[in-house]
Structure 1
C-alpha cells in the first residue's frame, strides 16, 4: 500500500530537520495534534522506509557517507592548531592566510571574526569530535560493560551482601 499524500509530505518535511511535530505541521496536520501525528507516523514501517529512502538520496546527492563523516570528525579531533599561525619571534606570531592553512585544518574552523584586537578564530570542539568518534566506535559501550553490567546485577549483589544469599533478612 502506498503512502497517502500527507504521509509523503510528512516524510519530505521530516528529512529537513528531523522534527516530527514541525514536519507534521508543514505537511498539513493540525497544530493541535501535530505532536501525536508526527510521533505516530514515525512508528509506521512504510513511513520509516520512505524516510530512509529520502535520507539515502540526500546522502548520495551530497556525497555524504559514514566514512566521510568519520574522516571529518577525525580531522577535528586530531587537528594541530600550530598550523594556523606562523611564529615571528619568540612568543610573537601571526595567523596565516586562509590559502596557507591546509584544507583539512580549514575545515576545523567554525568561525573567523575580526575584532579590535585582531583576528579571532574559533575551531570546532575537539572534545565533541572525540566524543562522537568514541560513540561511533562503541568505546563507551565497552566501558559500560567493564563497569559491571546491568543494574539488576548490582541490586542482587547488594541484597546478597546485606541480607544473605536468599535476599531476605534473616530473623
Structure 2
C-alpha cells in the first residue's frame, strides 16, 4: 500500500487528521476505517489505541496540532492588528499633499483597513466612511485590562463605611431602651 511523505497509509493519515480535528480515537478510527463500523466497540477501542500509539501517527499528529496552533495564534494576532489599525487611524492619511482626496487604490494599508466603505460619484469625487474608532479603542482597552483598573478605582460607599469601622464596633445597643 502506498504511503505519504510522513510514512503513513491513507487510512493512518485520515486517523491522524481526525484526531487533529478533535475526534476521539474511536471516532477517528471509524472515519479512517469504514469497515470497522460493524465491529464491537471494544475491538475499535483496542485498534484505535494501538494506532494512536504508533510512532509515525504520533509524529504526524504533533505536526497537525502545531499547524493548528500556529493558525490560531496568527489569527488572534491578526485580529488585534486590525483593531489597532482602526483605533489608531488618522483621517489625514486620505489626503494628498495638495489637499485633494486619495482614491482607494492610493491609500496605505493601515488607512485602507480603517475604511468601511467608499463611493465614487459620477465626477470622480470620493466619499469615505470609516469604521467606528471608539468601538476599536474600547476593544483594545478591554484587551489590555484597562476597564479592570477603572473598576478598582470606583468607590463603594458601604464597603468604605465597613472599612472605616475596621473592628471598632463592639455590639449593638438598643438606643430607645437607653433612656429608660
- Which structure shows the bigger proportion of residues in strand conformation? 1
Query: What TM-score, normalized by structure 1, do the two folds share?
Result: 0.49
TM-score, L = length of structure 2: 0.47
User: Which structure features the higher share of helix residues?
Assistant: 2
